[in-house]
Amino acid sequence: MKKAFMQEAIRLSIQMMRRGKGGPFGAVVVRKNEIVGRGCNKVTSANDPTAHAEVVAIRDACRRLGTFQLSDCELYTSCEPCPMCLSAMYWARLKKVYYANTRKDAADIDFDDDFIYTEVSRPIADRKLVMRQLMRKEALLAFNEWKKKADKIKY
């Protein structure tokens, strides 16, 4: 079954790239040997830099299953995930991820995520994206209220 799920992710990557939806990336989320979410790269067609195939597939699966956690699911993706998608996979609590192409394969066609992987490991002050803290005291009000909230849904 694993090969069939990966074949579907690869099929999506090719089909949707040919249709002009975005880059050559596809992904599927699988639960109990059934595809519950599909995604292709829609960055350029949706004008959304977060619309990577894996994120689109996770969103689709969550919508279909009515949940924000996919702890009983696996994800099959046509390429090793970028840092954003990898983070989304952790937040979704996926139990396993399978990938086909590597980061190097993606870099060879000008999808180079090494810059972001490197940036994330740097101290905030040393990153290329300027980040400055502002109004922490005021923002802590929401955090303090959340901490005391009796009916919160943890995630």
Catalytic residue annotation: 54
Q: Which two tokens stand for residue 19?
A: 């249709």
Contacts 24+ apart (CB under 8 A), 12-15: 12/38, 12/39, 12/40, 12/53, 12/78, 13/40, 13/41, 13/53, 13/78, 13/79, 15/40
Rg (Cα) of the chain, in Å, rounded? 18
Beta pairing partners, 27: 39, 77
Beta pairing partners, 97: 75
